Amino acid sequence: MTPMAETVTVSGAVSPSLLASLDPLLREWLPRQRWFAGKGRPVTGFSLVAAVELLPLGGRLGLYHLLVRAHQPTVPVVGAATHPADCYQLLIGVREALPPRLAPALIGHVTEGPLTGHTVYDALYDSRPAEVLLEALRSQARIGGLRFDRDQGREIRPGLVPRLMTAEQSNSSIVYGDTFILKLLRRVVPGVNPDLELPLALAREGCARVPAPTAWMQADVHGETYVLGVLQPFVQGASDGWELALRELAKGEDFAAEAHALGRATAEVHTALARALPTVTLGHTQLEPLVAGMTERLEAAVHAVPALRPYAAGLRTAFTAVADLAAEGRTLTAQRVHGDLHLGQCLRSPDGQWSLIDFEGEPARPLAERRMPQPVIRDVAGMLRSFDYAAYSVSPPDPEWARRCRAAYCTGYGEVSGADPRTEPVLLRAFETDKAIYEVLYEARHRPDWLPVPMAAVERYATSDLI
């Protein structure tokens, strides 16, 4: 099939018919990728947004950087990808034959168009393409519409050996010699990306809790800028909070001291973000849409996951309680927050220091929403849910372990910020309920086996208070 027409930026020797030859292969390959956001809806076609040749096909290996729109039927679900055609960043390698070490990267064998007879594959698995990216960042290259920039004060040594991270991720990351990690965003949208914006702002504030961006990669397409990747120092020997929590749970060990330290770290980041970027006061006019948004997300989730239906009325009471606060004239302070904070976003270095990563926000939400100031309790609720997630993902569940972690986290947070989140039980309940509903949708789409974990929370939240 011929790809749908779109104004395309093509650089180097890339022919627009390139996508036509990849089309049937991508249709099969793309929906199988963990980072594909449009799960459950067929891909009906592709259009090329931009294409840049990074290595010419004449050599042993051709390399193309593509921004490709995947067309899918639109489903009117709040909280899901709202674009009828999400744009994905692909790095396509082309070889005559694929060496066995690259077998997991296979996209397919091309049978039509300019690449006929070649094998195409996800080039992030391959060391040469990964080296090309690092070299471009190091030398601040401009290639076609691709722009590579770096913090002038930080050195990037040439020749660092790359390896693709194999962890389950929403994006793809390459580690270079245990010195840097490059996160390449997969679903990309034009505009300021909080995954670059917030760490840069925190670095300017001197906040050491977040690895500072060393270099970044962007694309300029028809007057719009897409953030494509961020290089940052790799925290060597780090364990993420989720692994650590599960390890302690398996040993029957307490995690309260770590939860306390995490509460302090979260408050430090929030304090620095409030210094770096504007804060606003939310009055009745702003709280009404906030509550309406939570209620809409619930309705949409019930539509998508009918198992939620029996709990909907009970869950809704968490949101109406916030509306009541607003009606009484309560105001709230809002500021930029992490937006999707959970144990997997917290790294502990071997010396026991915690860092927070991945400031992209909930990937399915529109960018404008992800960049809006929010009450800090939103992040706190994310972490509290995460302790609950850990405790309910083991058999038998250990609610007492979660209770101790939750209390310690709130204490630590309050020590640094001056405000213990437990003094806001109505807000906490609403944001935790909202997060649990998001998790039900997320798991239904991405990891159906995990659905019972947030569903167990939903059952409890529909009938009881949380803290």
Ligand X SMILES: O=P(O)(O)O[C@H]1O[C@H](CO)[C@@H](O[C@H]2O[C@H](CO)[C@@H](O)[C@H](O)[C@H]2O)[C@H](O)[C@H]1O
The token duo for 359 is 């400031």
Instruction: Give yes or no for residue 167 binding ligand ADP (CB under 6 A).
Output: yes
344, 373, 382, 421: which one binds ligand ADP (CB under 6 A): 344
Q: Please choose, from the candidates 138, 130, 158, 116, the residue with its C-alpha nearest in 3D space to the C-alpha of residue 24.
A: 116
- 198 sits near ligand ADP (criterion: CB under 6 A): no
Whose CA is closest to 314, among 460, 441, 435? Answer: 460
State the nearest-atom distance from the C-beta of 138 to ligand ADP, in Å: 18
Cβ proximity to ligand ADP, 183 vs 385, nearer residue: 183
- Contact between 343 and ligand X by CB under 6 A: the answer reads yes
- Residue 128: CA count within 13 A, CB half-sphere: 13
Q: Supply the minimum distance, in Å, between the C-beta of residue 386 and ligand X.
A: 3
In the complex with ligand ADP, the residue whose CB is nearer, 442 or 461, is 442
Binding segment toward ligand ADP, per CB under 6 A, in 6-14, 88-96, 168-176, 318-326: 168-176
Q: Supply angle C-alpha 299, 304, 307, rounded to 5.
A: 85
C-beta separation of 215 from 151 below 8 A: yes
Cis peptide before 396 (omega within 30 of 0): yes
If one asks whether residue 340 binds ligand X (CB under 6 A), the answer comes out as yes
The Cα 341–Cα 355 span in angstroms is 12
Q: DSSP for 61-106?
A: -EEEEEEEEEE------TTS---SEEEEEEEEEEESS--GGGGGGE
216 binds ligand X, rule: CB under 6 A? no
C-beta of 166 vs 285, nearer to ligand ADP: 166
CB-based contacts of 68: which residues, under 8 Å, 6+ apart?
A: 19, 26, 46, 47, 48, 49, 87, 88, 90
Coil/strand/helix, residue 164: strand
Given 358, 424, 432, 434, the residue binding ligand X (CB under 6 A): 358
Q: Does 36 bind ligand X (CB under 6 A)?
A: no
CA distance 362 to 342: 11
* Of 76, 72, 87, nearest in space to 6 by CA: 87
Identify which of residues 180 and 409 has a Cβ nearer to ligand ADP in the complex.
Answer: 180
User: Minimum CB separation from ligand X for residue 327, in Å?
Assistant: 31
Q: How far is the CB of 153 from ligand X (least distance, A)?
A: 29
Question: Toward ligand ADP, which CB reaches closer, 129 or 344?
Answer: 344
State in angstroms the smallest separation of the CB of 228 from ligand ADP.
13
Q: Is residue 432 close enough to count as binding ligand X by CB under 6 A?
A: no
- Residue 344 as a binder of ligand X (CB under 6 A): the answer is yes
Q: Does the footprint of ligand ADP cover residue 213 (CB under 6 A)?
A: no
Contacts (CB under 6 A) with ligand ADP, residues 217-246: 232, 234-235, 238, 240
89 binds ligand ADP (CB under 6 A): no
Could you give the CA distance from residue 112 to residue 378 in angstroms, rounded to a whole number?
50
How many C-beta neighbours within 10 Å does residue 426 have? 15
361 in contact with ligand ADP (CB under 6 A): no
Tokens 């921004």 sit at which residue?
Answer: 67
With H, G, I as helix, E, B as strand and everything else as coil, classify residue 124. helix
What residues are paired with 63 via a beta bridge? 55, 93
CA–CA dist 253, 342 (Å, integer): 20
Q: Which stretch binds ligand ADP (CB under 6 A): 103-111, 164-172, 328-336, 391-399?
A: 164-172
What is the rounded CA–CA span in Å between residue 134 and residue 176?
A: 8
CA–CA–CA angle 58, 102, 186 (5° rounding) = 85
From ligand ADP, ligand X, none, interface partner of 356 (C-beta below 5 to 8 A by class): none
**Which of 65, 95, 183, 342 touches ligand X by CB under 6 A?**
342
Phi first, then psi: give them for residue 45, nearest 5 degrees.
170, 170
Site string for ligand X, 381-420 (x = CB under 6 A): ----xx--x-------------------------------
360 binds ligand ADP (CB under 6 A): yes
Q: How many CB atoms lie within 10 A of CB 151?
A: 15
Partner whose binding site includes residue 385, from ligand X, ligand ADP, none (CB under 5 to 8 Å by kind): ligand X
- Residues in contact with ligand X by CB under 6 A are 169-170, 242, 340, 342-344, 358, 362-363, 385-386, 389, 439, 442
- Give the residues lining the site for ligand ADP (CB under 6 A): 165, 167, 169-171, 173, 181, 183, 211, 232, 234-235, 238, 240, 344-345, 347, 357-358, 360
